[in-house]
Amino acid sequence: MKARFIALITGAVLGSSVLSAQSNDCATMAALAYDDAKAKNYDAAYEPLMKVKEECPKYSLATFQYGERVLDYKIENSEGAEKEQYIQELINLWEERLELYPSKSSAGQIYADIAQLKYDHKLGTKEELYNAFDKAYTEDRENFTSAKSLYAYFDLMVEMQDAGDRELQDVFDSYDKVMEKIEEEENDAAQRLAEIIKKQEAGEELTAKEKKQVKYAEINLNNYNAVKNALNAKLGARADCDNLIPLYKKDFEAKKNDVNWLQNANARLSAKDCTEDPLFFQVSEALHELEPSASSAYSLGQLAEADGDRAKALEYYNEAAQLEEDPSDKARIFYRIASNYKERGSFSQARNYYRKAIDAKPSLGNAYLQIANMIAQSANSCGDTTFNKRAVYWLAADYAARAARVDPSIASTANQTATAYRGRAPQKSDVFQEGRSAGEAITIGCWIGETVRIPQM
């Protein structure tokens, strides 16, 4: 009995020693590999890191983070079969990371990275590559955020349609879902940016973290804007009225009781302003009778507006806004209503609807720019002194500048507009002569009803 007890104790001690030795070996190997990787000595880090991954995969997430850097380097600096080997190793590394560290990994990002790697190196058929991106989109849409990968996802669909392997409607469907995702990401970035801009405009000092957030938000907005332009260029003539009208006209009789088909046809024809052909009225009317919706109400509003009946048009547009659930589409409707009021000189009502459009889509820079223009037009009527009338242009400039920051697609125009308005506002000598100082608040009356601060000059 005593001998058995001694044997058990000895086994436990030896087992503990083995585990401890293994742990020490992992720590030693990892430390050496990590040091080389940190120093960007990737050739030296490669084998030790791969050994740590093989023998101690659960030692640290850092193994996979450094491993990605090392393999990126090896891929970039190799060719042929060797390059393909490193590509496969990187794919395996990503997949293993997702399996071992799911709470610290993003499936959507990893699947998109795998698809992008294959796409960049032309590994697989167009169908296989498309399915790889589709996996990222369908399994973790929230984290499939790469602007580059979203473009590749759509690009592959277009190429398959060009090769005769997909229908034109498939291209439209792909465009819609990719564009919707891009606009969601744009809105998130613009919302974060707008909140920080308000703090900045109030004269508060930004933290280091907030400055980084501004930088990344602006980079993302520029990237997403570039992809949107590329998507529209890729869609090209496929989505013009000459293609859309025959496509939908040939199926109208067979599909006129199919709500989904009518919704798709209505949205596409409306988006491309194919509203003069009788088909547009047929589709809109049929859709509104079967299932009154935001898109059908909006289309009927367009038709009423084209007929010169603005009151009826606004009635339909407001109905559309109430029914619409998609933020980007709701913003489009509010923007159209606002523009109608602006054209009639109802600036207060117009601003209300432009603000609703911004609430729905924070990256809608044109709405800020339109508010800026209305404020500038009202300078003479909304100030009680010559100085205060000119001060209105500071507020107009602030709105124009904000438009540029949240929407890179109009940044050049908006910045030029802001500069022009600042040129009309009081200059440094005017502020001095009036006995005013930087930071002083000026209340602007009439429909504007806002306060602007004298800027530092």
Whether the predicted pLDDT of 407 surpasses 80? yes
The 3-class SS string of 102-114 reads HHHCCHHHHHHHH
| pLDDT higher than threshold 50 for residue 10 | no
How many Å apart are CA 194 and CA 95, to the nearest integer?
Answer: 37
pLDDT over 50 (residue 2): no
Confidence band, pLDDT 50/70/90 cuts, at residue 288: confident
- Out of 22-26, 221-225, 436-440, pick the least confident: 22-26
- Residues 408-424 have pLDDT tens digits of 999 999 999 999 999 99
Q: What is the mean pLDDT of the chain?
A: 89
The encoded tokens of residue 329 equal 């589409």
**pLDDT > 90 fraction of the chain, expressed in percent and rounded:** 59
What mean pLDDT is predicted for residues 80-104?
A: 96
pLDDT category of residue 109 using cuts at 50, 70 and 90: very high
> Looking at 110-119, 198-207, 307-316, which range is the least confident one?
198-207
CA dist 28 and 197 (Å) reads 48
Tokens in use for 192?
Answer: 């974060």
Per cent of the chain over pLDDT 70 is 95
Q: What is the pLDDT of residues 49-67, one digit of tens each?
A: 999 999 999 999 999 999 9
CB 307 within 8 A of CB 295: no
Is 442:453 a contact under the CB 8 Å cutoff? yes
Token code pair at residue 450: 């806002």
pLDDT at 400: 96
Q: How much is the average pLDDT of 269-286?
A: 85
> Which amino acid belongs to residue 111?
Y
Tokens of 328: 């980007």
Mention every residue, 6+ apart, whose C-beta is less than 8 A from residue 368: 354, 358, 399, 400, 402, 403, 406, 407, 414
Looking at residue 156, its amino acid is L
- Please state which of the ranges 146-160, 187-201, 354-368, 388-402 shows the lowest mean pLDDT: 187-201
Q: Which residues pair with 443 in a beta bridge?
A: 451
Query: Averaged over 438-445, what is the pLDDT?
Result: 88
Q: What is the pLDDT of residue 427?
A: 92
pLDDT of amino acid 23: 54
Whether residue 14 is predicted with pLDDT greater than 70 in this model: the reply is no
